[in-house]
Amino acid sequence: MSDSTLSEDSFLDDIAHRFLNECEQGETPDFEAYLREYPEHTEQLHEIFSGFAILAGTCEKKNESSVGIANSGMIIDGKYKLIEAIGAGGMGQVWLSQQIVGLKRQVAIKLIKAGMDSERVLARFESERQSLALMNHPNIATVFDAGMTEHGRPYFAMEYVKGVPITEYCDRNRLRITERLRLFAVVCEAVLHSHQKGIIHRDLKPSNILICLFDGVPVPKVIDFGLAKAMDPSQTEISIHTGHREFVGTLLYTSPEQAEFNNVVIDIRSDVYSLGVVLYELLVGTTPLEKLRLKEIAETEALRQIREVDPQRPSVRYSGSGESEGIAQQRLIAPNELKSTLQRELDWIVMCALDKDRSRRYQSASEFKEDIERFLRGEPLVARPPSNLYRLSKFVKRKRGAVASALAVIVGIVALVAWMSVDLYHRRVLEKRINISHVEYLRAADAISFSRRLNELKATEHSSFVSRLNSYQLAKPSTTEIERRRDIV
């Protein structure tokens, strides 16, 4: 089978898996969203969706026929009376209810949505119930009871949390930066408790962190453990495997490792990242990946950005915001003062929690909370800005192609300069040798010339001497002549 056929089969498998998963969760598959994500497969998508139309219609009819099973006034398990629906997620509905047996109190009843009673959804529902049952913390919603309805649908009764998302509460009440940080530190304590119980939330976001008022005091409550994961599956007796290429969480708040379609094990540092996103929003009024931007891009591109694109520091994002004055007013601070407050230490804290490399993040919700408390007390932080070497390594990792090209050019230039330097060196050595040889040649020539002149001089002097000697001998009287002269005298 060819690679192109395999690729096509893989594409069809992905589409079918997503389509059926959406249908299973009671959602209507969005054809336009698929077109935006896979523009190169427009024709295949038209064919696929026309073929799936009957299936989609079946799913919708199934849901429509099931609507009404849970309704206001209905009695659940003889103990709880449903009052009104107050929330819904991918697999469940939450109802404000009145407990009519035993304690007369308001509770929140969570039911599986009509038509959603597949084996997988039932397993997730039971996992959430068991996860919540492990908790015993004032800032986490408490589970009171669990059972089955008369129609065989599982439910559990939990503490009714009458509150608003933490970001909404802080903005509505114009809480200062320090007040927001103190509230957030309490949230970290609650998340730390769940981690100590071996539970990773995996969907921390403002709508799952509600602020309730008790005697006028704001109290955070962490809710909705529907996507929670046990670090030790034996703790909850339910083991749920996340499907291949199945994304779990909320894009705006998810961690880079949750956005990976590989075998990366999700641990508590994933929740630390999500908490970092929540703090980012509490400080500057927006998430690192902006909501408007998220609507403009396909899910695969959003996941890529979460994995690869480093977010701007809170102070930089605030400075570039067109709503800086409004954001500052909601925090009862002047715009310039808010910028200076965010710079350095708060930037360091947030960016430490949002590091793509989880080994460089806070290693627990406790470390995160402790650094926030150090900031509030004016003490030195554990978080520090990344070193220049680390920034360089991150830049190289992000721009491998450009860096490789630049390095190739630099290596070429260095090689050329080295070659020219060596060539120049050899030229200078050769010139030096030539100069030395020339000097030696001149010295030798001078020596030869001197020797010749000396010889010539010697020859001349010798010739002169011989001539004078001959003249002398010619002028000198002979012995006979001397004797003759002596006789005459």
Of 20 and 86, which is predicted with more confidence? Answer: 86
Listed in sequence order, the residues at least 6 apart from 261 whose beta carbon sits closer than 8 Å to its beta carbon are 244, 245
Q: Which of 1-15, 32-46, 261-275, 399-413 has the lowest mean pLDDT?
A: 1-15
- Residue 54's pLDDT band (cuts 50, 70, 90): very low
Q: Concatenated DSSP letters for 436-473?
A: HHHHHHHHHHHHHHHHHHHHHHHHHHHHHHHHHHHHHH
H/E stretch holding 74 reads none
Average the pLDDT over 175-185 and give the result: 98
For the ranges 322-331, 357-366, 478-487, which has the lowest average pLDDT?
478-487
Nearest partner of 111 among 131, 127, 88, 132, judged by Cα: 88
Answer whether 226's CB lies under 8 Å from 111's CB: no
User: Looking at the predicted structure, is the pLDDT value of residue 49 above 80?
Assistant: no
Which residues lie closer than 8 Å to 339 by C-beta, 6 or more apart? 315, 318, 319, 324
Structure tokens that stand for 71 in this block: 């309704």
pLDDT range class, residue 14, cuts 50, 70, 90: low
Per-residue pLDDT, 55: 46
Q: pLDDT at position 237, please? A: 47
Task: Count the helices and strands in the chain (H runs, E runs).
Answer: 17, 11
Contact 127, 228 (CB under 8 A): yes
Give me the mean pLDDT over the 175-190 stretch: 98
Whether the Cβ atoms of residue 98 and residue 106 lie closer than 8 Å to each other: yes
Q: 478 falls in which pLDDT band (50, 70, 90)?
A: low
Confidence (pLDDT) at 241 = 46
**Are the beta carbons of 84 and 95 closer than 8 angstroms?**
yes
Once rounded to an integer, what is the mean pLDDT over residues 171-183?
Answer: 98
203 catalytic? Reply is yes
364 phi and psi angles, rounded to 5 deg: -160, 165
- What is the DSSP pairing of strand 154-159 with strand 106-112? antiparallel
DSSP state letters, 277-292: HHHHHHHHSS-SS-HH
Secondary structure of residue 98 in the 3-state scheme? strand
Identity of the amino acid at 411? V
What percentage of the chain exceeds 70 in pLDDT? 74
* Non-local CB neighbours of 31 within 8 Å, separated by 6+ positions: 45, 49
Write down the H helix ranges in 332-399: 335-341, 347-353, 365-377, 388-398
Within 13 Å, how many C-alpha atoms sit on residue 299's CB side? 18
Q: ∠142-143-149 over CA atoms, to 5°?
A: 150
Q: Is 295:251 a contact under the CB 8 Å cutoff?
A: no
pLDDT in tens, 215-245: 999 999 999 888 888 887 665 544 444 544 5
Structure-token pair, residue 55: 């299936």
Q: Which one from 171, 203, 271, 371 is the annotated catalytic residue?
A: 203
Amino acid at 335: P
The pLDDT of residue 195 = 96
Query: What's the mean per-residue pLDDT of the chain?
Result: 81
How would you class 405 by CB atoms within 10 Å of its CB: exposed for 0-12, middle for 13-18, buried for 19 or more? exposed
Taking 50 as the threshold, does the pLDDT of residue 384 lie above it? yes
Look at residues 233, 222, 227, 253 and name the one whose alpha carbon lies nearest to residue 120. Answer: 227
Lowest mean pLDDT among 340-349, 351-360, 420-429: 420-429
